[in-house]
Amino acid sequence: MTRNTIGVFDSGFGGLTVLRALLPLFPGSHFLYLGDTARLPYGAKSQATIARYAVESARFLEDKGCQRLVIACNTATALALPDIRDNVGVPVTGVILPGAQAARAAATGEDILVLATDATVSSHAYRDNAASLGLRAHEKACPLLVPLVEEGWIEHPVLYDVLRIYLREALHEMAEQGRVPSAVLLGCTHYPLIADPIRRVLRELDCPATVVDSAEATAAEVAAAAGPQSSLHAATFECFATDSVQKFARLGSLFLQRPIHSVNLLDLGG
C-alpha cells in the first residue's frame, strides 16, 4: 500500500513549526518538507517573484508524490495561493485563514494586531480574512525578525531591542485610533520561535494581549480536510533545502524540536 505523503513548504525553517503540529495528527503518513532557504526572504520580494518561487516549490513536492500540500508560509499563502492551486493537481492548504480563525477564537474584542513580513502586510490578506470573521486587524511589518530568527538569535538582546521598537510603534499606531489589541497574531511562520520574547515585550509595554500562533490551527484544518487517520506507526519526515544542509539540520532541529539527521540539497534554479 502506498503511504499517505504530504508536502509542507516554506521559504525557510519557519514552516517546521507547522510540520511539528502536523506530525502527531497524521500517524503512518510521510511528510516531505521543503525550505527554499537559498531564495529566502520571500517577504521582501514582489508578488510575481514570490509566486514563481512558490509554484516551483509546490510542483517539486507534487512531482515527488505528495497527495496534499501545506503552504506553511504566510508570505507565499498571502501572495501566491491562487497561483499554486492553479499549477498543481492536489489539495492545497495555506496558513492565513486558519491563523485568522485562531485569532477570532482568542480575541475578546474586535481589534487584533498582526505581525508579518512586508509582503504579507502589503497584500492585506490578514486584514481581509480577519474582516470576514468580524475582526479589525492592524497589520505591522517586522522585516528584521526573519533574519534574526534565521540566525538563531531567538533570545539575543538585539532581538529584544528590535521587538521593543516594532511593538511600541504598532501599539502606538493603534492607540492613536483608540484601539487596543486583545490578540497578537504571529503572521509569519518564523515568529513562533520568538513567541516568548514577544509575550515578554508585550508585558513590558503593559499590553495583556494573547499571542496566537497559526501552526496548530493550520494543522487542525489539514487534518479535518484529510479525514480520520489511523496507524500504529508514527509519522515520518524527510527534509529538502535549497541552501546549506548543515545549517538547515542545526537550526531546523530548533524549530521542529526534534533532531533532523539528514537534509537533501535541492537546486530549484534562480
Would you please indicate which residues are annotated as catalytic (active-site) residues?
A: 73, 188
Residue 250 parent element (H or E): helix 245-256
Task: Please identify, using beta-carbon distances, which residue of 4 and 74 lies nearer to ligand DGL.
Answer: 74
Burial 158-179 (b: 16+ CB within 10 A, else e): ebbebbeebbeebbeebeeeeb
Cis peptide before 41 (omega within 30 of 0): yes
**Per-residue interface string for the shown chain with ligand DGL, residues 24-63, x marking contact by CB under 6 A:** ----------------xxxx--------------------
Which residue stretch of 107-115, 131-139, 185-193, 244-252 sits at the interface with ligand DGL (rule: CB under 6 A)? 185-193
Task: Please identify, using beta-carbon distances, which residue of 4 and 101 lies nearer to ligand DGL.
Answer: 101
What is the β-pairing status of strands 263-265 and 111-116? Answer: unpaired
Which residue stretch of 73-81, 165-173, 199-207, 261-269 sits at the interface with ligand DGL (rule: CB under 6 A)? 73-81
Output the smallest distance, CB 259 to ligand DGL, in A: 22
Distance CA 117, CA 8 (A): 20
**Per-residue interface string for the shown chain with ligand DGL, residues 120-149, x marking contact by CB under 6 A:** x-------------------------x---
Distance CA 33, CA 169 (A): 35
Q: Using the structure block, give the residue that is written with the C-alpha cell 513536492.
A: 61
The contact set with ligand DGL (CB under 6 A) reads 10-12, 14, 40-43, 73-75, 117, 120, 146, 188-190
